[in-house]
Amino acid sequence: MNECWFYAGPFESGVEPELADLMRTDRVYQTSALQQGKEPSGTLAAAERTYWRLDRPDTFIRPYYENAMLSNKWTVGSVTNYGRWDYPLGVTVYGLLQAGRYMQRPDITRYAAEHVQACTQMYEYSLWDREQYGFPAINQQLIMLKMLDNCGSFGSAMLESYTECKEPTFLPIAERIADFMLSRLERRADGAFYRTCAGEYAENTMWADDLYMSTPFLVRYARVTGKSEALDEAAKQFSLYRKYLFMPEYKTMSHVYDFKYEQATQIPWGRGNGWTLFSLTEVLEALPEEHPERPALIAFFNELCEGYAALQSESGLWHQVLNHSETYLEASCTAMFAYGFARGVRFGWFKDPASYVTAAQRAWKGLVSKAIDRQGNVHGVCSGSRYAFTAEYYDQDLRTVTNDNHGIGIMMLAGTEVAQMERHLSERTANSTASAVHSG
């Protein structure tokens, strides 16, 4: 009979694997080097791992994640994104978690958490796959771990998901990401994160985006593990990035500082500024009242919000390049500014909150009328960016993509935060009225 069999093994003598473990494809199995005819390492046989194989010589089964590779359309299209580890999907997962919690929809939060679990439960296999074949077929960004994009956003969503599922595979991965950020990531002499990227277009640069790629993860890592040095690092990075990227004349952030030319690009790209404000609210929410960096960061938050509010268009949206009104209106940065303003109102960080209530509401109204259609499709989101010293690049080369994952999650987050802000204001008014009636 012409049959094809899968098998895993050989196993250690006298060891019988659990049946449940033999009904999975997300793990590798321990075996013995000597039983495979290999030389022992030192005095003991080297521990080896194996995976499912066919009844053919040296023929392993190899799961892989089929996806659209990097291009302006890599986050959309006919290929599924479920179970994929990458940075825009980190924002999407966070948006699903927060929207699901606000709407009391456990089906949504469960879906988001299971997306993350689909990645992390293949982590051990992915490491083995890289050893076996030279390049991982699954979780490429996590396993290669070359830059903050590869780990910070999705790692943050992973730790946010931990409250939903307590998945044991999350914590070892979080430790690896934290070690990368705190001990091995490239830094300037003053400690600021930056990108060396030798031989690449981004060689020797600092990006406002990287505040998002690092600090929300560090905040959640500190929260889950109790390691306050991670939160201290997050606060420190904001002070350092301000020194390089802040544009005081507009109270906005330059997208990139290019150390090859020792100057900032002086282009306040909308989403780069959105990442900055989004991440600063994450740090401020976690930072203790007595933390020495807190007063400066509160002042920085107010400074940025003043600059952004002054550049909001009549439509409620912000322009792709914030201080260039001829560039197109962009949805993802608008959602992030609405998110930041709403959180500032709710947490009491503004000196004068009233104008920011109005700005957040105008932004959300603009998004609902111009960026979200009746079917829930999201429009007007800038595609993934490189950088330039001209506004024309951001306006002409970076066109919008429908349902781009850079915008879907932040749209859910903006809607959730504006709703929470309005509920907070309503409750405060109700409490004030009740107090007045009681005292009267």
Q: What is the pLDDT of residues 140-165, one digit of tens each?
A: 889 999 899 999 999 999 999 998 99
Longest pairwise C-alpha distance within the chain = 93
Residue matched to tokens 């002086």: 266
Give helix 294-310 / helix 228-245 axis angle, nearest 10°: 40
Q: Is position 24 within any domain?
A: yes
Listing from the earlier edge strand, what are the strands of the sheet with 205-207? Answer: 205-207, 256-258, 263-264
List b or e across 267-305, with b for residues whose CB sees 16 or more CB atoms inside 10 angstroms. bbbbbbbbbbbbbbbbbbebbeeebebeeebbebbbebb
- Contact criterion met (CB below 8 Å) for 410 and 416: no
Domains: count for the chain:
1
Alpha carbon distance 30, 49 (integer Å): 5
Q: Is position 239 within any domain?
A: no
Q: What is the pLDDT of residues 296-318, one digit of tens each?
A: 999 999 999 999 999 999 999 99
Q: Is position 203 within any domain?
A: no
Q: What is the pLDDT of residue 301?
A: 98
Q: Is position 316 within any domain?
A: no
* Dihedral Cα 17, 18, 21, 27, nearest 10 deg: -40
Residue type, 267: I
- Contact criterion met (CB below 8 Å) for 286 and 304: no
DSSP-derived letter for residue 71 is S
Q: Is position 36 within any domain?
A: yes
Q: What is the pLDDT of residue 395?
A: 97
Strand, helix or coil for residue 364: helix
Alpha carbon distance 283, 296 (integer Å): 12
Strand, helix or coil for residue 287: coil
List b or e across 144-180, with b for residues whose CB sees 16 or more CB atoms inside 10 angstroms. ebebbbbbbbbbbbbbbbbebeebebbbebbebbbeb
Provide the residue range defining the domain that includes 46.
6-54
Please report, for residues 8, 279, 345, the alpha-carbon distance to residue 351 in angstroms, rounded to integers and kept in the order given: 64, 20, 10
Q: Is position 34 within any domain?
A: yes
Residue type, 70: L
Which stretches in the chain have pLDDT values below 50?
A: 33-46, 68-75
Q: Which residues pair with 247 in a beta bridge?
A: 252
Q: Is position 180 within any domain?
A: no
List b or e across 10-40, with b for residues whose CB sees 16 or more CB atoms inside 10 angstroms. eeeeeeeeeeeeeeeebbbbebbeeeeeeee
Q: Nearest to residue 227, comparing CAs of 164, 159, 279?
A: 159
Q: Is position 313 within any domain?
A: no
Alpha carbon distance 277, 253 (integer Å): 10
- Supply 41's token pair: 């390492």
Q: What is the pLDDT of residue 32?
A: 61
- Contact criterion met (CB below 8 Å) for 248 and 290: no
Q: What is the pLDDT of residue 71?
A: 37
Alpha carbon distance 12, 382 (integer Å): 54
What stretches of 74-151 show up as alpha helix (H) in DSSP? 87-102, 106-120, 123-133, 140-144
